[in-house]
């Protein structure tokens, strides 16, 4: 089995608190040793040597919320193209959502995703399965059987389970079998046909709006149901100050709850919509500046556990429509790292704490083996320069889709090498220069 020595690295392992200079050894897809003193006497003959030149070496990123077109909408994105985009962004594991055609609500579909991922993808891919049959919010899916088939968690993707009694049953069942329920927190009747955040911008543009209370009310309801049932609950993407405050209160009461925030919820605010710019149409919608700052504060104080890309590829035709009719979503696998690093560069959060939200925290929530640097752990690694300046260029994306509001945005930090199972799946074509 081939062995590789990574030398002259800044090792950061958020799971253990390690942050310092050192080296790391992999063999046969496994991390076998690491530390400051490793290879002090020189690297033994026969090892491949990778000189990290002071760059950060950390666990590969784990993205908990990725929408992929396969099966059913392969023209938007395939497992292969999504995995190539992930590798270019330093993401070694993606968790795909079940709102495909057909919906991932049966064992056969979970097994299909796993099989296709093994055959086509260069990164690890795990499916979440649907909470309810057909994502209709009416009848609970066969959660136990789906979990046995290796669905890592359960979600109705971008739909909320509106029926409180159904959600109560789901959380009760989840409690009995230690399953994670990832819920999109938006009260659908209150959100209605809204397409952007309620406020002055929506009023000026004459667009139907979604009040922030739609998110808060659903989070408050779900917390009460968690209190009743003891089920493990994860708010899939928080975007409002009030909902973040509610979750913090739930955590203070000792409830088994966690939350994620999408990158665009702290990288942009509602002004990005500009004059009906459909590339800035997201779910949940971009909020006002106070809510954006609340997301940053929630990440910094630990109320929000996870950063996800909410990668949601759309074809040109579905975005080149009037704002109300255009598809929601932006791509994010290749921009999650640099946009998240802005929080580190502006002093909002330390680098290790930031990386924890994209490595060990999602791994812990989902019960994955990755997300850490330790002997015996999978050799899923990211080497990156946190200070490398560049401009986001949609023409350079590996994703099939180009629906990004970040084109030409200056950023700092870029993947130099991405490693999965000990194999290099991406290296900077410019050599990191």
Contact assessment for residue 258 and residue 306, using Cβ atoms and an 8 Å cutoff: yes
- Structural class in CATH, domain 60-366: alpha beta
Query: Radius of gyration of the chain from Cα atoms?
Result: 21
> Which pLDDT score is estimated for 350?
98
- Interval 65-92: pLDDT, tens: 999 999 999 999 999 999 999 999 999 9
Residue in the block written with tokens 């917390």: 223
- Interval 404-414: pLDDT, tens: 999 999 999 99
> Which pLDDT score is estimated for 167?
98
Residues of the chain predicted below pLDDT 50 = 433
pTM: 0.97
- Structural class in CATH, domain 3-57+378-427: mainly beta
What is d(CA 367, CA 247) in angstroms, rounded to the nearest whole number? 22
Domain residue spans of the chain: 3-57+378-427, 60-366
> Which pLDDT score is estimated for 431?
60
> Which pLDDT score is estimated for 399?
97
Judge if 3-57+378-427 and 60-366 fold alike in CATH terms.
no
* Bridge partners for 30 per DSSP: 27, 378
Nearest to 109 by CA among 136, 128, 131: 128
What is d(CA 257, CA 55) in angstroms, rounded to the nearest whole number? 34
Contact assessment for residue 175 and residue 161, using Cβ atoms and an 8 Å cutoff: no
């Amino acid at each position: 089995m081939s062995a590789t020595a990574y030398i002259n690295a800044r090792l950061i392992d958020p799971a253990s608190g390690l942050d310092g200079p050192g080296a790391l050894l992999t063999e046969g897809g496994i991390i076998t040793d690491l530390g400051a003193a490793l290879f002090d006497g020189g690297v033994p003959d026969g090892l491949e040597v990778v000189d990290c030149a002071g760059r950060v070496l950390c666990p590969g990123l784990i993205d908990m919320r990725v929408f992929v077109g396969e099966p059913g909408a392969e023209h938007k994105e395939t497992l292969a193209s999504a995995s190539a985009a992930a590798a270019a962004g330093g993401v070694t594991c993606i968790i795909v959502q079940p709102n495909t055609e057909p919906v991932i609500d049966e064992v056969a579909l979970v097994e299909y995703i796993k099989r296709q991922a093994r055959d086509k993808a260069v990164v690890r891919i795990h499916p979440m399965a649907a909470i309810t049959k057909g994502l209709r919010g009416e009848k609970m899916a066969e959660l136990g059987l789906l979990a046995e088939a290796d669905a890592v968690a359960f979600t109705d993707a971008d739909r909320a389970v509106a029926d409180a009694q159904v959600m109560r049953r789901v959380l009760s069942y989840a409690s009995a079998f230690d399953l994670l329920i990832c819920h999109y927190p938006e009260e659908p009747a209150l959100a209605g046909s809204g397409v952007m955040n309620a406020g002055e911008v929506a009023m000026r543009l004459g667009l139907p709006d979604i009040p922030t209370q739609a998110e808060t009310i659903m989070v408050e309801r779900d917390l009460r149901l968690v209190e009743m049932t003891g089920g493990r609950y994860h708010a899939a993407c928080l975007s409002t100050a009030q909902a973040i405050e509610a979750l913090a209160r739930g955590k203070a009461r000792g409830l088994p709850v966690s939350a994620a925030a999408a990158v665009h919820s702290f990288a942009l605010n509602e002004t990005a919509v500009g004059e009906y710019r459909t590339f800035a149409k997201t779910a949940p919608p971009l909020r006002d500046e106070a809510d954006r700052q609340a997301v940053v504060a929630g990440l910094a104080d630990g109320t929000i556990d996870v950063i996800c890309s909410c990668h949601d590829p759309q074809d040109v035709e579905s975005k080149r429509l009037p704002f109300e009719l255009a598809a929601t979503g932006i791509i994010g696998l290749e921009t999650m790292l640099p946009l998240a690093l802005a929080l580190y560069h502006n002093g909002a959060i330390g680098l290790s704490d930031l990386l924890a939200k994209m490595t060990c925290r999602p791994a812990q929530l989902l019960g994955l083996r990755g997300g850490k640097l330790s002997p015996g752990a999978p050799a899923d690694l990211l080497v990156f320069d946190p200070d490398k300046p560049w401009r986001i260029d949609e023409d350079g994306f590996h994703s099939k889709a180009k629906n990004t509001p970040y084109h030409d945005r200056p950023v700092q930090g870029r993947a130099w090498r991405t490693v999965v199972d000990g194999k290099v799946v991406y290296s900077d074509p410019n050599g990191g220069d």
